[in-house]
A and B are shown apart, each in its own frame.
Chain A
């Protein structure tokens, strides 16, 4: 819960200024971008996600570092489970092919 998960912004969700689709190692989910509204991320930016909310913008290199940290801590699977769990209402959002 306290470890952050890195993801890449794929697109901003049309019609909802607070949502963006992120890609975390191939899994795509909608996350809330409201906590970054002072410097809204754009498609292609990398962010750190906590409990479904993007919390900070980071570089691509740092995103990779963070994924590796999760793997080293043995928490990569748990992180992916968390990401898969986001947006349970979102019928069309599940496991979209890239």
Chain B
């Protein structure tokens, strides 16, 4: 098991894995969803599947913000950079995500002023430094990044910086989980809860899943040992007939979350009545919009946004992969038309996207085995 070499403490890992094997009921098939894209990445990187019994299936969840954004939103955001006075800013993860007429990087190559920022506050700095231009920040992310956007908007208002706006695509995790549970073709036994989203929202918001749906959820860290421990905690609950929220990632996640961050979000954002997610369709109250008090800084209220709705390229099966109905390699385009070098869907761009994660690890592993068996 090549990947085990990378673990710090293989012995503890082996013990945790043995505990998982001891706890499973061999006659049962388990389906656990890891909600967060960071977990998806970790699962492939560490070859976690190799350590688990065959009857535990891990289903990749919707927690990759770049992946769940429908292409129409990207087109809408990019439509604003046709104006040569506008500087389009976004995180690096966004830059290669395809829109109908190309990615932000391709727009840049055609002459648009597109820049990577690492923090929303850097986009605001850019506005301060370029008072005669308009700086638009294309905001994405779950509750992990939304508070930072909120605070940036509060700062813009305090300082009266008028040449700055946010194109808000922030989404919220709980309604996405609810939508997945509501979809008729999805049977899940438990959730591995997102680590860093939970530093903000805490553990309480998951309680309804446990109560209403009778499913355990364990908020988990990102190392192989963290995830194995989380799976042990889930199995113990299932064996005891329990369904509750547990926090495996206590060293980072406070049970109550970060109240100052939640306050900043509440001050600046309100829930949209509904929002479209790639693959999951329209989900009610699943995304944030900027409150009217901040309309001056809301790119959607300030500019004419076309409101594009496009469907994904026909053969692309991003929606099915996002819903967990297909595994990445089962998409017809996987590894052929769609690769990390030439992504067709967003899931192949971000390191948190399941197609990119699968491609860089499983695919490589497969190639290695092929080479080894051929040799």
Q: A50-B144, A50-B145, A86-B122 are in contact. Are A4 and B199 (CB under 8 A)?
A: yes
> Judging by beta carbons under 8 Å apart, are B121 and A53 in contact?
yes
Give the size category of A's interface with B.
Answer: 35 or more
> Judging by beta carbons under 8 Å apart, are A34 and B45 in contact?
no
Q: A52-B148, A86-B118, A88-B122 are in contact. Are A1 and B260 (CB under 8 A)?
A: no
On chain A, the residues within 8 Å of B339 by CB distance are none
Which of A2, A75, A86, A90 touches B65 (beta carbons < 8 Å)? A2
On chain A, the residues within 8 Å of B141 by CB distance are 1-2, 51
Cβ of B312 under 8 Å from chain A: no
Q: A35-B264, A55-B261 are in contact. Are A1 and B122 (CB under 8 A)?
A: no
Distance from A65 Cβ to chain B, minimum over Cβ atoms (Å): 7
Interface string of A28-62 (1 = CB under 8 A from B): 00001011111000000000101111011011001
On chain B, the residues within 8 Å of A85 by CB distance are 116-119, 122
Which of A1, A65, A66, A73 touches B91 (beta carbons < 8 Å)? A1
> Judging by beta carbons under 8 Å apart, are A52 and B119 in contact?
yes
Count A/B pairs, Cβ under 8 Å: 130
> Judging by beta carbons under 8 Å apart, are B196 and A2 in contact?
yes
Q: A35-B147, A38-B260, A75-B351 are in contact. Are A66 and B252 (CB under 8 A)?
A: yes
Which secondary structure dominates chain B's binding surface?
helix
> Judging by beta carbons under 8 Å apart, are A82 and B199 in contact?
no
Closest to A6 in B: B252
Which of A34, A56, A89 touches B125 (beta carbons < 8 Å)? A89
Q: A2-B65, A75-B351 are in contact. Are A48 and B120 (CB under 8 A)?
A: no
> Judging by beta carbons under 8 Å apart, are B145 and A1 in contact?
yes
Interface string of B34-63 (1 = CB under 8 A from A): 001110011001100000000000000001
Cβ of B300 under 8 Å from chain A: no
Which of B120, B142, B254 touches A51 (beta carbons < 8 Å)? B120
Distance from B200 Cβ to chain A, minimum over Cβ atoms (Å): 7
- List residues of A (63-89) whose CB comes within 8 Å of B's CBs: 65-66, 68-69, 72-75, 78, 82-83, 85-89
Closest to A61 in B: B251
On chain A, the residues within 8 Å of B261 by CB distance are 35, 55
The 6 A-B pairs at the shortest CB distance, nearest first, are namely A52-B119, A85-B118, A89-B125, A53-B148, A62-B251, A35-B261
Chain B residues with CB under 8 Å of chain A are 6-8, 36-38, 41-42, 45-46, 63, 65, 91-93, 116-122, 125-126, 128-129, 141-142, 144-145, 147-148, 151, 155, 196-197, 199-200, 221-223, 251-252, 254, 258-261, 264, 351-352
Chain A residues with CB under 8 Å of chain B are 1-4, 18, 32, 34-38, 48, 50-53, 55-56, 58-59, 62, 65-66, 68-69, 72-75, 78, 82-83, 85-90
